[in-house]
Chain A
């Protein structure tokens, strides 16, 4: 799996334009773009409430994510951003439509996929040390104890945490806890990383530090990343492509390509005129009221 990625850069651009074209291809074809890491085809999701009312959250959402691409999903609050991410992660079967990971249909969480949740205080187990938390996903891989320990300390070093394996998560600050959650994802050695509002619960300074950390880790580990966020600056700053969702029931409203290059810098990138323009484009798309026909 990893070998195929080294051959990607040349085909990556093609894959991305294909992905763009496939945006509204719909679910009926049943064919899978072989170049995509993740494909969402006509995914919809409805819930039946306690009173028996059927509520549609997702209405036929389709998009592709190319290998090593960074996609940000934004949308008005109340849009089914998290629902969509849970469908991508294989945590929730869609009512209709399909999700593919590396060309195979997703029915359970894929093994080459890692997740980072917003709520680090709940996604890290308070009764386990930092090291035990980081090595928890490695148990299914049946690796030797020493290998698990090594992967854990490497991952903790990669996220800028030192020798804190013996601490408990609640002894650390919020930013450090989210770093541990990221280290756990890294140690799992995934091809793709899904993040649900990963920096929404930390302070502004920590937030920009973590944004840069994720960008550095993406380069280092050549991961595909999909992040759900409500922060438009963050979406544009980090991603190669921003998918703007509409309000409930959710569909893809607009896809914005972010051609800001591979190197991003909090000060330089954010003051580029292109950045400001992209930011305004995305913001306008997010704010457009439901039912507004102007494309």
Chain B
């Protein structure tokens, strides 16, 4: 179901770069044409869905038809259980991401600004970030049970690394001439952080934040399925186990929509953080 969104983003990107190469215009697809393409894609996906559901390839009752799905969705969405599941997932996602930001950004900026610390930590960071959060689930469940706390710890483990790495890259992007300008005019260190280090690092941090936000959501839902922690993932798993395929699909689509919203918000944040960046200039003004 996320297929239409991917298609739409590709179109957007093509539209943004094309006028740069061909200032005479004509390369940029019109809004109408884009809308038609998106609608067409959605129709195709829905048609494929309906064919897959009715053909019986995936066994009886395992893939609901569009009609069954729709009536189940109308039934499920107004219930309290549905919104509690969303809240459980999103609250632990938000707390986990916030903790990651609070840890990774100061630590990353510190590591990035000291070559000694960078050399010391690089192998460790590279090692740790390749460990998938999911394989730590048994250990975390053993320690904390199937709780939100366990979920948050694993979310932090998944999202702290991209943020940390981006913070390290961000601080290293500070121009020597800019640093010397600040030194020459005796700018105090508090103002250096505020007007030099953070602004230079902000595009990197925004990218890290987007990657971490998406990774956190995937990990949250995955853990809920595996470890039966409360949330959307738990509902997907439990409905599917009880043969309630349509209900399981409602939660599945909900997870996809949440993913889209999170991506949309953090892509916008990233664009905002880069208003001054050479790659963005002129496209907004």
Interface residues of A (CB under 8 A from B): 86, 89-91, 108-109, 111, 113-115, 117, 119, 122-123, 125-128, 136-137, 139-140, 168, 170-171, 188
**Which residues in chain B, 193-227, are within 8 Å of chain A measured between CB atoms?**
195-196, 199, 202
Q: Which residue of A lies closest to B202 (CB)?
A: A127
CB distance from A239 to the nearest CB of B (A): 22
**Which residues in chain B, 149-192, are within 8 Å of chain A measured between CB atoms?**
175, 177-178, 180-188, 191
Complex contact A128–B184 (CB within 8 A): no
Complex contact B187–A140 (CB within 8 A): yes
Of B183, B184, B191, B195, most buried by chain A (CB within 10 Å of CB) is: B184
Of B180, B181, B188, B199, most buried by chain A (CB within 10 Å of CB) is: B181
CA distance A115 to B277 in the complex (A): 25
Mark each residue of chain B from 246 to 277: 1 if its CB lies under 8 Å from any CB of chain A, else 0: 00000000000000000000000000000111
CA distance A128 to B178 in the complex (A): 13
CB distance from B115 to the nearest CB of A (A): 13
Interface pairs (30), CB distance under 8 Å: A90-B184, A91-B183, A109-B183, A109-B186, A111-B186, A113-B184, A114-B185, A115-B184, A115-B185, A117-B177, A117-B180, A119-B177, A122-B177, A122-B178, A123-B180, A123-B181, A125-B195, A126-B278, A127-B276, A128-B195, A136-B182, A136-B187, A136-B195, A139-B188, A140-B187, A140-B188, A168-B276, A170-B276, A170-B278, A171-B285
Does B9 reach chain A (CB closer than 8 Å)? no
Complex contact A127–B199 (CB within 8 A): yes
Complex contact B175–A122 (CB within 8 A): yes
CB distance from A284 to the nearest CB of B (A): 33
What bracket does the count of chain B residues touching chain A fall in? Answer: 20 to 34
Given pairs A117-B181, A127-B275, A136-B195, 17 additional interface contacts (CB within 8 A) = A86-B180, A89-B184, A109-B183, A114-B184, A115-B184, A119-B177, A122-B177, A123-B178, A125-B178, A125-B195, A125-B196, A126-B277, A136-B187, A137-B186, A137-B187, A139-B191, A171-B285
Q: B residues within 8 A CB of A109?
A: 183-186
CB distance from A23 to the nearest CB of B (A): 27
**Which residues in chain B, 93-123, are within 8 Å of chain A measured between CB atoms?**
none
Complex contact B185–A136 (CB within 8 A): yes
Q: A residues within 8 A CB of B22?
A: none
Interface residues of B (CB under 8 A from A): 175, 177-178, 180-188, 191, 195-196, 199, 202, 275-278, 281, 285
CB distance from A101 to the nearest CB of B (A): 13
Q: A residues within 8 A CB of B196?
A: 125
CB distance from A225 to the nearest CB of B (A): 15
Q: Which residue of A lies closest to B191 (CB)?
A: A139
Q: A residues within 8 A CB of B191?
A: 136, 139
CB distance from A238 to the nearest CB of B (A): 21
CA distance A30 to B47 in the complex (A): 89
Contact of A115 among B181, B187, B275 (CB under 8 A): B181
Q: B residues within 8 A CB of A115?
A: 180-181, 184-185
Given the interface contacts A125-B196, A127-B276, A170-B276, does A108 sit within 8 Å of B177 by beta carbon? no
Contact of A108 among B181, B186, B277, B281 (CB under 8 A): B186
Contact of A91 among B175, B184, B277 (CB under 8 A): B184
Q: A residues within 8 A CB of B199?
A: 125, 127-128
Complex contact A140–B180 (CB within 8 A): no
Given the interface contacts A122-B175, A122-B178, does A140 sit within 8 Å of B276 by beta carbon? no
Q: A residues within 8 A CB of B183?
A: 91, 109
CA distance A89 to B183 in the complex (A): 10
Complex contact B180–A91 (CB within 8 A): yes
CA distance A109 to B183 in the complex (A): 7
CB distance from B33 to the nearest CB of A (A): 32
CA distance A117 to B181 in the complex (A): 8
Q: B residues within 8 A CB of A171?
A: 285
CA distance A139 to B186 in the complex (A): 9
Complex contact B177–A140 (CB within 8 A): no
CA distance A119 to B177 in the complex (A): 8
Complex contact A126–B276 (CB within 8 A): yes
Q: A residues within 8 A CB of B178?
A: 122-123, 125
Q: Which residue of A lies closest to B178 (CB)?
A: A122
